[in-house]
Amino acid sequence: MSLSTKYNPSEIEDKWYQHWMEQKFFASKPDPNKEPYTIVIPPPNVTGVLHMGHMLNNTIQDVLIRRARMQGKEACWVPGTDHASIATEAKVVNLLKEKGISKKDITRDEFMKHAWEWKEKYGGIILEQLKKLGASCDWDRERFTMEEDMSAAVIETFVDLYKKGYIYRGIRMVNWDPEGKTALADDEVIFKEVNSKLYHIRYQIEGTEDYLTIATTRPETIMADAAICINPNDTRFDHLKGKRAIIPLINKSIPIVEDDYVDMEFGTGCLKVTPAHDINDYEIGLRHNLEAIDIINDNGTLNEKAQILVGEDRFVARKKIGKLLKEAGNLVKEEDYTSNVGHSERTNAVIEPKLSMQWWVKMEELVKPAYEEVMNDNIQLIPPKFKNTYRHWMENVRDWCISRQLWWGQRIPAYYLPNGEYIVAETAEEALTLAKEKTGDNNLKLEDLRQDEDVLDTWFSSWLWPMSVFDGFKDPDNEDFQYYYPTNDLVTGPDILFFWVARMIIAGFEFKGQKPFNNVYLTGIVRDAQGRKMSKSLGNSPDPLELIKNHGADGVRTGLLLSSAAGNDLLFETKLCEQGWNFGNKIWNAFRLVKGWEVVNAEPSVAAKKAQEWFEARFKQAVAEMDDHFSKFRISDALMTVYKLVWDDFCSWYLEAVKPPYGDPIDRETYELTIGFFEDVLKLLHPFMPFLTEELWHQLGDRDEKDCVIVAQYPEVKAYDNEVLEKAKIAFELISQIRNTRSSKGLSPKEQLKLFIKTSDKSLYKEFASIINKLGNLESMEFTTDKVDNAISFVIKSDEFFIPMEGAIDVEKEKAEIQKELDYTKGFLNSVMKKLDNERFVQNAPEKVIEMERKKQADAEAKIKTLEDSLANLG
């Protein structure tokens, strides 16, 4: 045979993906005769490249969708990307910079043209990468959050929420990125440990020659100080109460206030309060009615309100002011200090807390149905431990800042009138009409309206995703939306449970009165072997495409799923992919064996017939087990079930039992049944290992282009013969014991052995005699009523087995082994008897439990007797 002993995935993967695409197997359209099964992809960032998290997440989605497809459901997996305003804008700005173009020198329209060009050229690489993984998305349905219809939905919902009073403008402290010149959401801020200095600065107490000392990491903000704050319980500062202090360098007088917020242990116990530049200070400011003095420009330089160092960058200013304070004699000391400083996820600039006018969504009311429907399990979170986390967030929900000071995104549909008022409307024309009504000024023209410069947060697009991908806003009655929505399962990471999942649920109920999905499967986070998050800066993330190249997509998928229970982080090692590949190779070689057989018309062997009966039952049992695992979203358990079914049951037991001696042909009946079993196994395996199974499906039989395992009918749960499984278990244990005996005596597996059985019930052994003979490699199998001399013996249940050994038997060693088992069984019996001797147990425990304990007792007693006999026989 010319087939390689090694399975080579790269030869077949692209071929089959292309074939599936050509046959339109991924495509879905509404079919009223079929049950829909829908997944929308968590849209990856359009600038992104595939990382391990995507691999895990999309593998799970693909497993679910492929299984549903084979089960005859109308399976639809919608792919797409989001426009990632900050990330994309940063990329475009950088590209323009390389071309010598500055964003501020071009118009908004020109910039958007460049951005779209960038998107067309570089965006969406990640979707191409998903194809390598085998993702069976309906690619004809690919969506992008900035395309026209999707944007229209965003604008429509903004106006809708505004009209309902859920959207407002307000000044709030935001995370300001002075480089990107935009506000960032909390999750876009990364906190890093930074070495800095703690400056101890003394302020004169007004009207005295005394000083107080504060400690700060940001001396450049002293000009924005509105007060000095002390803890009211701090007796050290009683003399300061009611006094005022003077800011050095600018000689401004500020009050000294008292607030519990001040940590008496930290620094000097005196806190400078800078409401415009620190979130905690802002809140103290609100409590004490302090003025917020903003001395920093949008680009991070100091403005004229600072009075000194105007125009200097905040970090330059920090150094210079240190020097100035020193010269003025106000710098007491500098000490080294490490602090957690927020950085922009995109530009890496140090975040500046900044007061700024932003658009907000009022969340308190909106959240209510979304909260309820998860708490009552109408929407299920998997694993359920996330329900708690979800509840906690929903109960403490805060308003959502949805404006971003960027151009790439949907521009906020608010139009300012010359008098400073504004109108929210879907179009400028509509706004003009409304403006005329509002002002009574019929001379207003479009040119008089100025649209808000800001765009909406990307999440404000993503939260509509399950509805907008089916045009649920543009055309709510359309067939797709009616058929596919609500979707079935959502697969995503717990890190965006609030930013995305919760908001989708909110949007689903608010805009359509329906949940967006039934189940949310939260995957773990893929970490490296040391448990660290994978990150570019650590360089600990393997290249997914490289992994696929080396281990095959099937190998990587299997490797990822093998040890990733829902919600558990996955400590990734390349070894896992090797294990996945090994599994594929095992199946490949099973195929080589079967394919190599010569088939003749003959009677099946007794062993083969028994093996068939057993494997049929075992297969059905595995189908039932897998079905149960899938129903609970235990994907890795389902995989493990089929892994063992293939490796242990099909390869190690079944194929070994039916395999003819080398060179001999196989009878037709056994051959055909075996092919049938193989196909059944491939079906169970296909959602996990799509490529290998498709290849073997076509190699096993002569099939046309439409007859593919991807659309084969998935095995259904059926009743099975449990008795044959129970009997086989004992027969297999006997075979293991025979092999063990051979192995522990250092005999070759080729050495044939004689077996004597002492039992009161011969039927099981007769039934399985042929298999026991073959797999145990026996010369003979006989029944006996007496002990057999010069033999190794062992006990299964209450039956005793003897294998005569030529030459000396180490009696002491045999005795020791039997004694060990006897001790264990006695201990076990003892624990059973403790229960049965306890009156209260017999009274209180359920009948079934007591019965089980009595059975355990009887079995153990019989076994002990047999073991004791064995021991006695040995002398």
**Interface with RNA in residues 49-108 (CB under 7 A):** none
Question: CA–CA separation, 623 vs 634, rounded Å?
Answer: 14
Tokens of 80: 């797409």
489-548 residues in contact with RNA (CB under 7 A) are: 494-495, 498, 524, 531
Other beta carbons within 10 angstroms of residue 253's beta carbon come to 11
The 651-690 site mask, x for binding RNA (CB under 7 A), equals xx--xx--x--x----------------------------
Using the rule CB under 7 A, which residue among 169, 644, 797, 815 binds RNA? 644
Tokens of 376: 């009552």
Using the rule CB under 7 A, which residue among 392, 450, 703, 718 binds RNA? 392
Name the minimum Å distance from CB 656 to RNA.
Answer: 5
Using the rule CB under 7 A, which residue among 433, 439, 541, 589 binds RNA? 589
The residue type at 319: K
Using the rule CB under 7 A, which residue among 142, 288, 828, 833 binds RNA? 828
Segment near RNA (CB under 7 A), from 252-260, 400-408, 731-739, 780-788?
Answer: 731-739
105-144 residues in contact with RNA (CB under 7 A) are: none
Measured from the CB atom, is 143 or 551 closer to RNA? 551
Segment near RNA (CB under 7 A), from 64-72, 366-374, 643-651, 682-690?
Answer: 643-651
393-412 residues in contact with RNA (CB under 7 A) are: 393, 396, 398
Using the rule CB under 7 A, which residue among 23, 213, 380, 582 binds RNA? 582
Measured from the CB atom, is 388 or 780 closer to RNA? 388
Q: What is the DSSP letter of 537?
A: T
Is position 780 an interface residue for RNA (rule: CB under 7 A)?
A: no
Measured from the CB atom, is 350 or 845 closer to RNA? 845
Measured from the CB atom, is 596 or 665 closer to RNA? 596
Measured from the CB atom, is 474 or 739 closer to RNA? 739
471-500 residues in contact with RNA (CB under 7 A) are: 494-495, 498
Is position 631 an interface residue for RNA (rule: CB under 7 A)?
A: no
Is position 307 an interface residue for RNA (rule: CB under 7 A)?
A: no
Q: Per the annotation, does 536 bind a ligand?
A: yes
Name the minimum Å distance from CB 831 to RNA.
Answer: 5
Measured from the CB atom, is 246 or 809 closer to RNA? 809
Using the rule CB under 7 A, which residue among 122, 337, 416, 841 binds RNA? 841
List the beta bridge partners of residue 404: 455
Is position 827 an interface residue for RNA (rule: CB under 7 A)?
A: yes
Name the minimum Å distance from CB 740 to RNA.
Answer: 4
Name the minimum Å distance from CB 708 to RNA.
Answer: 24
3-class secondary structure for 149-189? HHHHHHHHHHHHHHHCCCEEEEEEEEEEECCCCEEECHHHE
Angle of helix 668-685 relative to helix 574-595, nearest 10 degrees, comes to 160
No. of helices (H) and no. of strands (E), the chain = 28, 31
SS3 524: coil
Could you report how far apart the first and last alpha carbons of the chain are, in Å? Answer: 56
591-620 residues in contact with RNA (CB under 7 A) are: 592-593, 596
Name the minimum Å distance from CB 1 to RNA.
Answer: 8
Name the minimum Å distance from CB 7 to RNA.
Answer: 8
Q: Which of 426, 421, 423, 432 is nearest to 410 (CA)?
A: 426
Segment near RNA (CB under 7 A), from 205-213, 373-381, 686-694, 826-834?
Answer: 826-834
Place of tokens 């195929």: 591
Question: CA–CA separation, 306 vs 76, rounded Å?
Answer: 59
Measured from the CB atom, is 428 or 796 closer to RNA? 796
263-302 residues in contact with RNA (CB under 7 A) are: none
Q: Which of 465, 454, 476, 457 is nearest to 506 (CA)?
A: 465
Is position 572 an interface residue for RNA (rule: CB under 7 A)?
A: no
Name the minimum Å distance from CB 759 to RNA.
Answer: 21
For the beta sheet containing 182-184, the strands, ordered from the edge strand earlier in sequence to the opposite edge, are 182-184, 167-177, 352-361, 400-401
Name the minimum Å distance from CB 72 to RNA.
Answer: 27
Question: CA–CA separation, 795 vs 870, rounded Å?
Answer: 9
Segment near RNA (CB under 7 A), from 30-38, 388-396, 475-483, 703-711?
Answer: 388-396
Question: CA–CA separation, 459 vs 853, rounded Å?
Answer: 59
Q: Which of 158, 161, 138, 176 is nearest to 62 (CA)?
A: 138
| Cβ partners under 8 Å of residue 546, min gap 6 | none
Tokens of 149: 């219809």
Q: Can you give the length of the chain in residues?
A: 875
Is position 329 an interface residue for RNA (rule: CB under 7 A)?
A: no
Q: Which of 637, 860, 615, 829 is nearest to 732 (CA)?
A: 615
Is position 590 an interface residue for RNA (rule: CB under 7 A)?
A: yes
Is position 640 an interface residue for RNA (rule: CB under 7 A)?
A: yes
748-767 residues in contact with RNA (CB under 7 A) are: 748-750
Name the minimum Å distance from CB 829 to RNA.
Answer: 7
For 354, list phi and psi in degrees, rounded to 5.
-145, 140
Segment near RNA (CB under 7 A), from 412-420, 600-608, 633-641, 807-815?
Answer: 633-641
Question: CA–CA separation, 659 vs 121, rounded Å?
Answer: 56
Question: CA–CA separation, 605 vs 660, rounded Å?
Answer: 9
Q: Which of 316, 48, 351 is nearest to 179 (CA)?
A: 351
Longest Cα–Cα distance of the chain, Å, equals 119
Is position 744 an interface residue for RNA (rule: CB under 7 A)?
A: yes
For 34, list phi and psi in degrees, rounded to 5.
-120, 150
- The DSSP string of 335-355 is EEEEEEEEEETTT-PBPEEEE
Name the minimum Å distance from CB 342 to RNA.
Answer: 11
Measured from the CB atom, is 321 or 397 closer to RNA? 397
Name the minimum Å distance from CB 628 to RNA.
Answer: 8
Using the rule CB under 7 A, which residue among 242, 746, 807, 875 binds RNA? 746
Measured from the CB atom, is 449 or 735 closer to RNA? 735
Name the minimum Å distance from CB 318 to RNA.
Answer: 24
Name the minimum Å distance from CB 683 to RNA.
Answer: 19
Name the minimum Å distance from CB 522 to RNA.
Answer: 11
Q: What is the DSSP letter of 226?
A: -
- The three-point CA angle 392-394-400 to 5° equals 130
Segment near RNA (CB under 7 A), from 54-62, 122-130, 438-446, 827-835?
Answer: 827-835
434-453 residues in contact with RNA (CB under 7 A) are: none
852-871 residues in contact with RNA (CB under 7 A) are: 852, 856
| Cβ partners under 8 Å of residue 649, min gap 6 | 615, 618, 619, 622
Measured from the CB atom, is 787 or 835 closer to RNA? 835
Other beta carbons within 10 angstroms of residue 604's beta carbon come to 18
User: Given phi > 0 = left and psi -120 to 50 = alpha, else beta, which region is 230?
Assistant: beta
Residue 228, H or E segment: strand 227-230
Name the minimum Å distance from CB 388 to RNA.
Answer: 4
Using the rule CB under 7 A, which residue among 585, 674, 759, 773 binds RNA? 585
Question: CA–CA separation, 99 vs 29, rounded Å?
Answer: 45
Q: Which of 407, 402, 421 is nearest to 460 (CA)?
A: 402
CA distances for 502 relative to 393, 456, 517, 549, angstroms? 9, 18, 11, 37
Is position 831 an interface residue for RNA (rule: CB under 7 A)?
A: yes
Segment near RNA (CB under 7 A), from 123-131, 366-374, 838-846, 862-870?
Answer: 838-846
Question: CA–CA separation, 516 vs 505, rounded Å?
Answer: 6
Kindly state the number of chain residues that form the binding site for RNA, as judged by CB under 7 A. Answer: 77
Question: CA–CA separation, 302 vs 315, rounded Å?
Answer: 10
Provide the annotated binding site for ATP.
Answer: 536
Provide the annotated binding site.
Answer: 536
